[in-house]
């Protein structure tokens, strides 16, 4: 309908002009007829003018008819074009509308899936809040996160959870260091004090929350330093693991006096990322120690191998001497055999009286004496 309106608006002046022209022509004909003087029918001039006027009226009628037909043809052509364009526009609009509805349906499906995920996440957050609200559950959560970090970095046998020290204390984890005592790591989660400090509505409550945070953290530092730093058994430094990056950032930004106190007590406060870096460093130290140990073993084995090579050379030289002596003995044997062959040839050349040749025993007797060295 919008295309038809556009057509009418675009061709409205032409249609109005054509209708106005036809109306003007009709009015003109009527005025001429009214203004013509009436003369007797017998007047030839009046009849002639009447004939001419009729001819003009016929010509004008034909022109009006042709104009009307041409206008009708133009209007029909334009209407057909508008109808065709309107049909194509309706098809295109229907196609686009269908595509948009399909996209909208897909987006609604995505939104529905996101809504389900949000609902599940809200449930998990509620569960996490329930876990963190309990002190024991909160401690188990921190210990579990510490165990996950250590197990992902260090191989089995390089650490032990709930390891018992000589003073009967059991930290959350110890990492065995090469040629030194174990490194102690204990997880602490001061969530209640930090949450009260963050959510304090008034200045007075905020001061009380600050005092509570300092008291709780100071107690954790003292406990770790007194229980897990054993001279001659453990490392000189212990790690206090806080399983929250935000709590760790607030502690280092707002409570610098506690951080300095922990350092003086040889207790390093670490977050999950800092703990990961520290354990990576421990892993590298262990790897270097293993490489040094392997190098020492290689050096020892190379020394043993050099001794074996020297012994092999000595035995090869002895074997060479034996081969030389054997070669000399073989040469002497060949010389003796050659002499024997010469003497046998001389004996064979001897002539005896009579036709009979000497017996074999007679010939072999001198040979046996020669072999015996007589």
What are the tens digits of pLDDT across the range 304-339? 778 877 777 787 778 777 777 888 778 878 887 777
From 229, 262, 290, the end of a domain falls on 290
Q: Hunting for tokens 């364009």 — which residue is that?
A: 85
pLDDT above 60 (res 181): yes
| Mean pLDDT across the chain | 75
What are the tens digits of pLDDT across the range 266-275? 998 888 888 8
pLDDT above 60 (res 242): yes
Same domain, 138 and 266: yes
Q: How far is Cα 240 from Cα 270, in angstroms, rounded to an integer?
A: 6
What are the tens digits of pLDDT across the range 76-105? 888 888 888 888 888 888 888 888 888 888
pLDDT above 70 (res 291): yes
Q: Considering the domain boundaries, does residue 194 fall inside one?
A: yes
pLDDT above 70 (res 50): yes
From 86, 114, 142, the end of a domain falls on 114
* Domain tally, the chain: 2
Same domain, 190 and 238: yes
pTM to 2 decimal places: 0.46
Same domain, 284 and 195: yes
Same domain, 224 and 263: yes
Same domain, 13 and 71: yes
pLDDT above 60 (res 166): yes
Q: At what angle do helices 203-228 and 256-264 cross, to 10 degrees?
A: 10
Same domain, 205 and 237: yes
Distance (Å) of CA 135 to CA 149, 193, 215, 250: 21, 12, 17, 20
Based on the number of CB atoms within 10 Å of its own CB, is 260 exposed (0-12), middle (13-18) or buried (19 or more)? Answer: exposed
pLDDT at 201: 77
Same domain, 148 and 254: yes
Q: Considering the domain boundaries, does residue 170 fall inside one?
A: yes
Q: Considering the domain boundaries, does residue 64 fall inside one?
A: yes
Q: Which two tokens stand for residue 96?
A: 């686009």
From 265, 290, 315, the end of a domain falls on 290
Same domain, 163 and 76: no
Q: Considering the domain boundaries, does residue 147 fall inside one?
A: yes
Same domain, 149 and 51: no
Q: Considering the domain boundaries, does residue 83 fall inside one?
A: yes
pLDDT at 248: 83
Q: How far is Cα 305 from Cα 308, in angstroms, rounded to an integer?
A: 5
Same domain, 164 and 250: yes
pLDDT above 70 (res 10): no
Same domain, 183 and 38: no
The CATH number of the domain holding residue 277 is 3.40.1350
Q: Considering the domain boundaries, does residue 301 fall inside one?
A: no
Contact 244, 195 (CB under 8 A): no
Same domain, 247 and 166: yes
What are the tens digits of pLDDT across the range 198-215? 777 777 888 888 888 888
What are the tens digits of pLDDT across the range 130-153? 444 455 555 566 677 888 888 888
Lowest model confidence (mean pLDDT) among 23-27, 116-120, 205-209:
23-27
Q: How far is Cα 116 from Cα 111, in angstroms, rounded to an integer?
A: 9
pLDDT above 50 (res 302): yes
pLDDT above 60 (res 7): no
- Domain range for 44: 2-114
Q: Considering the domain boundaries, does residue 327 fall inside one?
A: no
Q: Considering the domain boundaries, does residue 326 fall inside one?
A: no
Residue 225 has, within 13 A of its CA and on its CB side, a CA count of: 15
């Amino acid at each position: 309908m919008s295309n038809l309106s556009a057509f009418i608006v675009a061709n409205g002046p032409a249609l109005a002009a054509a209708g106005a022209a036809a109306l003007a022509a009709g009015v003109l004909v009527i005025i001429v007829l009214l203004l013509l003087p009436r003369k007797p029918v017998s007047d030839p001039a009046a009849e002639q003018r009447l004939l001419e006027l009729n001819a003009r009226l016929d010509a004008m009628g034909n022109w009006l008819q042709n104009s009307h037909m041409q206008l009708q043809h133009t209007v029909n052509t334009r209407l057909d074009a508008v109808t065709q364009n309107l049909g194509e526009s309706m098809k295109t609009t229907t196609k686009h509308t269908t595509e948009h509805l399909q996209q909208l349906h897909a987006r609604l499906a995505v939104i529905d899936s996101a809504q389900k995920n949000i609902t599940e996440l809200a449930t998990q957050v509620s569960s996490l809040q329930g876990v963190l609200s309990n002190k024991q559950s909160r401690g188990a959560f921190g210990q579990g996160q510490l165990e996950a970090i250590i197990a992902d970095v260090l191989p089995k046998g390089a650490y032990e959870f709930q390891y018992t020290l000589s003073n009967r204390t059991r930290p959350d984890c110890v990492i065995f260091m090469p040629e030194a005592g174990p490194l102690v790591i204990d997880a602490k989660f001061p969530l209640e004090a930090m949450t009260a400090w963050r959510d304090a509505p008034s200045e007075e409550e905020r001061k009380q929350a600050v005092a509570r945070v300092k008291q709780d953290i100071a107690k954790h530092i003292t406990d770790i330093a007194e229980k897990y730093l054993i001279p001659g058994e453990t490392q000189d430094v212990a790690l206090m693991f806080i399983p929250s990056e935000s709590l760790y950032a607030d502690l280092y930004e707002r409570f610098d006096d506690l951080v300095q106190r922990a350092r003086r007590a040889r207790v390093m406060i670490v977050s999950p990322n800092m703990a990961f870096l520290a354990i990576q460093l421990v892993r590298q130290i262990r790897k270097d120690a293993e490489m040094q140990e392997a190098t020492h073993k290689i050096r020892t084995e190379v020394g043993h191998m050099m001794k074996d090579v020297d012994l092999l050379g000595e035995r090869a030289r002895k074997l060479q001497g034996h081969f030389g002596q054997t070669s000399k003995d073989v040469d002497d044997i060949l010389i003796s055999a050659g002499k024997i062959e010469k003497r046998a040839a001389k004996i064979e050349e001897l002539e005896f009286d009579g036709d009979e040749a000497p017996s074999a025993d007679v010939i072999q007797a001198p040979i046996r004496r020669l072999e015996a060295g007589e």
